[in-house]
């Protein structure tokens, strides 16, 4: 088997998608460590599995192997249906608003990654696909993050904190 001596532009694009997936694993990794920082509709999301899946796909693509590109593209194609299934479940539960926007953004990310992993793209197609991925990630992080949400776990001391409503004693 002969080894290629140079990377072509398609190889650099595939390596770039691998790097994007490795960097994109930061959000589910953060939410795996701090699940209280997501919107309440995503309390049962397996963030650790999403983090590990993003890492695995990124590592699969980082060497720019043709088989790895085809495998990752097939997996991303299959995963691109997940936001629609999740949206159906959330709609059946009566959920509206930000959760559906986050699912739309995740579908945009997956569609952009699928397009970036095509066998060959022009620079304009690559730029448009990259813009879709970055815009989708912005939507996921911006609308899926809830930094002001208080933890659901009581503190170890049982203290309610300073934001708690004071109790009044009559008598």
Write the pLDDT tens digit of every residue in 121-159. 999 999 999 999 999 999 999 999 887 655 555 444 444
Q: Backbone phi, then psi, for 38, in 5-degree steps?
A: -100, 170
Burial 86-124 (b: 16+ CB within 10 A, else e): bbeebeeeeeeebbbbbbbbbbbbbbbbbbbbeeebeee
Q: Is it the case that residue 4 has pLDDT exceeding 90?
A: no
**Distance between CA atoms of 55 and 93, rounded to whole angstroms?**
31
pTM of the model: 0.80
pLDDT bin (cut points 50, 70, 90) of residue 161 is very low
Q: At what angle do helices 9-24 and 123-144 cross, to 10 degrees?
A: 0
pLDDT bin (cut points 50, 70, 90) of residue 22 is very high
């Amino acid at each position: 088997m002969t080894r290629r001596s140079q990377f072509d532009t398609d190889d650099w694009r595939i390596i770039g998608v691998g790097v994007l997936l490795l960097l994109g694993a930061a959000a589910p990794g953060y939410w795996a460590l701090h699940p209280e920082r997501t919107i309440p509709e995503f309390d049962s999301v397996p963030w650790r599995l999403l983090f590990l899946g993003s890492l695995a796909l990124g590592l699969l693509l980082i060497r720019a192997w043709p088989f790895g590109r085809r495998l990752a593209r097939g997996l991303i194609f299959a995963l691109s249906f997940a936001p629609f299934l999740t949206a159906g479940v959330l709609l059946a539960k009566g959920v509206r608003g930000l959760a559906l926007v986050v699912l739309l953004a995740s579908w945009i990310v997956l569609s952009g990654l699928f397009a970036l992993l095509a066998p060959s793209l022009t620079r304009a197609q690559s730029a448009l696909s990259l813009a879709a991925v970055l815009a989708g990630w912005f939507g996921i992080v911006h609308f899926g993050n809830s930094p002001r949400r208080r933890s659901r776990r009581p503190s170890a001391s049982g203290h309610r904190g300073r934001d708690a409503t004071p109790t009044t004693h009559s008598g």
